[in-house]
Amino acid sequence: MSVGVLLVGLPYSISLAAQWLYGWPNKPGYQKYIEALKPRRIYCLTRAVLETLKYLQYGRLYFQWKSWYKNDENRKHYEKGITFGRRSNKLDLYHPPNFGRSNEAPAPLVVFIFGGAWGSGDRSIYCLLARQMAEELSATVICPDYCTYPNGNVLGMIQDIADCLIWAQESGQQFNFDKDNIVLIGHSAGAHLCALTSLFLIDAREELFIEASKQRDLTLAIRGVICLSGVYNIMDHYEHEEKRGVEYVSTMHKAMNGVENFPYYSPTTTLKMLSPDKLYRVPPFALLHGTNDIIVPVESSTKFCDLLTSLSIQVSLYLLPKIDHTEIVTDLMVSDRRFYHPIYSCIKQEYRKLLGTC
């Protein structure tokens, strides 16, 4: 009896709870329940849910970032809750090490876009990362919020990131950063949004509702894009989600407004549609991916690298041994994390190349 409960009752309970909370298969009537209760789906979805238990190991990090803002000593390092953009989102700004010294030259600007499957995330979670990044790169670092699903779709997210860049163009002098030396860094869905925002700006998309001249100024200011474990072909990733049995509970296809919009929101498709003169303006890319990543397979970055190379766009690819999807970002938060130095070594090397300082 106990074995039956463990092998049957527990998986079905976990899967039913996940489907109830995050959505049933896109089938009419009772077919959606039949699809949801297929043994293979039950097994795959239960395995995916149980894999999330490993996040418990980040309990110490959780308390560190929760307490970081409460420490008055840290107040000099950041400006919190600055309003920007058409939806009045908030961003936090982190000062470089030498901020406040007289006659200090404007620092380069890093805009960090967090991930969260297009449906979760909050800028405050990344205070430790942003602070370390400001120190390691000697840069001003901005971490903005953006409208995640169900509050917005991917187009709204891209608009929010573009609005953040417009704010940066208007605020460089006030915070002493170089508005014309911007590097985008993103993780997972954030890497996808960094890539897509850059390409939409280069393509001067009307759906951004930004003047063409402003879009042109932004593209000139972006020196490069550093992507950590990113998604670049949405259909490829959807097929990977199907293999894991999570495609219906995932927020990805919902945030994209359905499967029919996958090509529109794929950086790979957008790149292929750019004219030669626009391809010439695509900034350099650096792609970092952990070889132990099961959330976004490493092939996502290798295929995107191959495409960029075939289009004669400057790209660097780093495949980092033994690093998984979460570690590539959490291990940037505290210097005593296992992969802190190997990952930052790659980021700093590419960052210097992008700014022409190496």
Residue 83 and residue 40 share a domain: no
Residue 299 and residue 269 share a domain: yes
| Domain end marker among 30, 45, 68 | 68
Report pLDDT for 101. 73
Report pLDDT for 53. 73
Confidence of residue 12 (pLDDT cuts 50, 70, 90): low
| Domain end marker among 24, 42, 68 | 68
Report long-range pairs for 236-245 (Cβ below 8 Å, ≥24 apart): 236/299, 236/300, 236/303, 237/296, 237/300, 238/262, 240/296, 240/297, 243/44, 244/44, 244/45, 244/47, 244/48, 244/294, 245/40, 245/41, 245/42, 245/43, 245/44, 245/45, 245/47, 245/48
Confidence of residue 61 (pLDDT cuts 50, 70, 90): confident
| Domain end marker among 23, 42, 68 | 68
Residue 208 and residue 62 share a domain: no
What range does the domain containing 177 cover?
A: 73-355
Residue 92 and residue 63 share a domain: no
Residue 137 and residue 247 share a domain: yes
Give DSSP secondary structure letters for 141-210. Answer: EEEE----TTS--HHHHHHHHHHHHHHHHHHHHHHTEEEEEEEEEEETHHHHHHHHHHHHHHTT-GGG--
Number of structural domains in the chain: 2
Residue 322 and residue 206 share a domain: yes
Residue 293 and residue 166 share a domain: yes
User: Residue 5 above 60 pLDDT?
Assistant: no
Residue 107 and residue 247 share a domain: yes
Residue 120 and residue 38 share a domain: no
Residue 54 and residue 199 share a domain: no
Tell me the CATH number at 218: 3.40.50.1820
pLDDT (average), residues 174-198? 97
Q: Strand 89-94 relative to strand 140-144: parallel, antiparallel, unpaired? A: antiparallel
Residue 189 and residue 53 share a domain: no
pLDDT in tens, 307-343: 999 999 999 999 999 999 999 999 999 999 999 999 9
pTM of the full structure: 0.92
